[in-house]
Homo-oligomer: A and B are copies of this chain.
Amino acid sequence: MPAMSEAPESKPVGAGRQLLFLREEELRLAQDLLFFGYRDFTAGPDAILAELGMGRAHHRVLHFVGRRPGITVGDLLSILGITKQSLGRVLTPLVEDGYVTQAPGRNDRRQRLLSLTEKGEAMEKRLFERQREWVMRAYREAGPVAVEGFRRVMLGLMGPEARAQLDRAQPAATPGAPKPRSAA
């Protein structure tokens, strides 16, 4: 199976400055980066949420409901990839506390179409702003080219299902420039 890290005899791997052969250290760095980066990325919102007796799961609901107003419970479940029991534990309080509203579907009245209330939007906005400052700093430090690269790698890190959901979740951001796809 795995030989220890040795001279990767496989390819000559020229590419002068930044050799990009996936040797051990290369990957271990990626692991570190993702662990620390994700943790610190979520730290800001976590702090706000904790004050309100909420957790990361609440934030996710606010985020995805905000992103797709009128989403059905089922769709939300498949995006989050959790069970309805798990969602219920988080969604019910959000509804009771007036962050999220439920409306019966017009076509299918069994459905509960979820949307954010004003309170919910304000909350989401607050969490969003906190994270925005953080990401903005990282983006600025890294520069536009790096940001594009970041996106491409993160997209590649996602499984096909998640990628499909992401596409579906993308609302037409600006009326007129709909498809920020492809990229090169």
Contacts and interface: CB of A to CB of B under 8 A. Distances in A.
Interface of A: 1-2, 4-5, 7-9, 11, 13, 15, 18-20, 22-25, 27-41, 43, 60, 63, 67, 81, 125, 128-129, 131-132, 134-159, 162-163, 165-166, 169-171, 173-176, 178-180, 183
A80 to B, nearest CB: 9
A158 B36 contact: yes
Given A19-B175, A36-B166, A137-B156, A148 B149 contact: yes
A39 B161 CA distance: 12
A142 to B, nearest CB: 4
A164 to B, nearest CB: 11
19 contacts: A2-B125, A2-B128, A5-B178, A18-B144, A19-B144, A24-B178, A27-B131, A28-B63, A28-B67, A34-B154, A36-B154, A36-B158, A37-B155, A40-B162, A138-B153, A142-B149, A142-B153, A142-B155, A145-B149
A166 B59 CA distance: 28
Contact of A166 (B20, B22, B32): B32
Given A144-B13, A149-B150, A176-B7, A38 B34 contact: yes
B141 A152 contact: yes
B144 A146 contact: no
B31 A131 contact: yes
A133 to B, nearest CB: 10
A149 B41 CA distance: 17
